[in-house]
Amino acid sequence: MTAPDTRPTIRLKPKADARAIRHGMPWVYADDLVTDRRTKALAPGSLAVLEDAERAPLALAAITPASKIIARVLDADPQAEIDQAWFSTRLARALALRETLYDAPFYRLVHAEGDGLPGLIIDRFGDTCVLQPNAAWLEARLAPLTAALQEVTGVAHVLKSASGRARALEGLDDASGPLAGAPPARIAVPMTGATYIADLAGGQKTGLFYDQRPNHAFAARFAKGARVLDVFSHVGGFALAALAAGAQSALAVDGSAPALALAEEGAAATGVADRFATRKSDAFAALETLATEGAQFDLVICDPPAFAPAKSALGQGLRAYERVARLAAPLVAPGGALMLCSCSHAAELAKFRAACLRGVGRAGRASQIVYTGAAGPDHPLHPQLGETGYLKTLMLRLLP
């Protein structure tokens, strides 16, 4: 690797806001950087000293010349060594927070920029960690990262997941595989009173979504004795938490047969299989069919994939959220509850809430907002990066 005293330099344009970098902003966009031939020739993942327009050093950054996010700030010290010890320091800090929050080792251990590790996601499943290196600088340093992860956590198994969309933007491949030990393909995860089955090898992202944990718990407050509908259910996140809290029944709807099979396994492991049912279907079609069947539920949850993954898709995404709310609202019994979720960072809370309320209103239902949620505290937000606060949930009580 390049020695600190021979690192290349990259420079902000005069119009760029150097103060934001000094105050902790971790991203530099291509429009804000001088991209001469020398800069464009740097290998993706290279380390460089980031300077302001007057050539004063600002920080150590990793550069990916072809990316819109052309540089990621790694350390305020331009001469920092990005080695195993550096990773260990950051991972130990991240672990200390999680061990304060959780009694069992099942959580998001690293939430990228929120934990000072740009582009890195690590989810922990007991003795196994699944990491997503979504930036070129990480891909080039998997060995010291993996060694530091095992040193700090003591886990025996580390699995690389290359399924993130961001990897393609960094010019990275989609090859997943073990980095240490022999990671299990599946693992049982205790959470919110239920047991979930995480498919570490073939599931979405790292195999399970920890971000909804506090929202599972809040929805479960409405579940005792309730008829529950969980749409876009994946592996049964809300449904299993509701059943564990005493729901009368739960129907999980998803378009993925493998995900529903995992949900059924989780229901069996939780001991609630006799009250659990699944329906493989497009979610919009299922909502329409259930309405024609005259179905009614006391608690309905809709947790779709990102309808607005980028600002260019915001309008279309908000219309989709409105449609979900309009189709779901008639299925809620009078006085029942409707939880609507968005994992689109481009759809800020106010716009998402307005779209949901339009949909409920167009379904002819009156409502009151009883809860607004976000990802759990193992998904810490970066104070200058709104994208880290992507998850939004809205719980409505539909009035009689």
Q: Which two tokens stand for residue 278?
A: 């699944």
Average pLDDT of the chain is 95
Q: How confident is the model at residue 2 (pLDDT cuts 50, 70, 90)?
A: low
Can you give the pLDDT at residue 240?
Answer: 98
Closest CA to 118 of 166, 49, 174: 166
Q: How confident is the model at residue 173 (pLDDT cuts 50, 70, 90)?
A: confident
**Burial environment of residue 320 by CB neighbours within 10 A (0 to 12, 13 to 18, 19 or more):** buried
Q: Is 343 among the residues known to form the active site?
A: yes
Neighbours of 41 (CB within 10 A): 10
Distance CA 23, CA 244 (A): 45
CA distance 380 to 365: 35
Q: CA 348 to CA 391: how far, in whole Å? A: 9
For residue range 26-40, what is the model confidence (pLDDT) as tens digits? 999 999 999 999 999
pLDDT digits (tens, 9 = 90+) for 45-91: 999 999 999 999 999 999 999 989 999 999 999 999 999 999 999 99
* 202: pLDDT strictly greater than 90: no
Residue 375 CA: distances (Å) to CA of 44, 51, 82, 217? 31, 35, 29, 12
Check pLDDT > 70 for residue 106: yes
Within a 10 A sphere around the Cβ of 201, how many other Cβ atoms?
16
Question: pTM value?
Answer: 0.94
Residue of 129, 302, 341, 343 marked catalytic: 343
